[in-house]
Amino acid sequence: MFAMKLTLILLGAFLYLVGTLGWFFWAGPGLVGTGTTEALLYAFAGTCAWLLISLGLAIHIIKTARPTAGGRNP
């Protein structure tokens, strides 16, 4: 069970890293370099999507590490 969980975590981290590098060093600059309004909107939308994915990932990691954080104890 531990090996499967570790494999999924490493796969997720690798895919996130590849996606981040691919966006910021290949797709994003290509869209901005094109300079058309449509390409700039796609670049903006892609960057917003990346930010949302990063924020969601950070929240998931924090909630997994501290599942009772933020809860009130009466």
Residue 28 belongs to a domain:
no
The domain tally of the chain equals 1
Report yes or no on 19 lying in a domain: no
Count Cβ atoms within 10 A of the Cβ of residue 16 and give its class: 0-12 exposed, 13-18 middle, 19 or more buried. middle
Q: Which domain holds residue 53?
A: 34-64
**Quick check: is 12 in a domain?**
no
Q: Which of 63, 25, 73 is nearest to 46 (CA)?
A: 25
Q: Which pLDDT score is estimated for 66?
A: 79
Task: Give the model's pLDDT for residue 1.
Answer: 77
* Tens of pLDDT, residue by residue, the chain (74 residues): 788 989 999 999 999 999 999 999 999 999 999 989 999 999 999 999 999 999 999 998 888 887 776 666 55
How big is the CA angle at 3 (ends 13 and 62), to the nearest 5 degrees? 45
Q: Where are the alpha helices (DSSP H) in 23-68?
A: 28-34, 37-65
User: For residue 1, is it within any domain?
Assistant: no
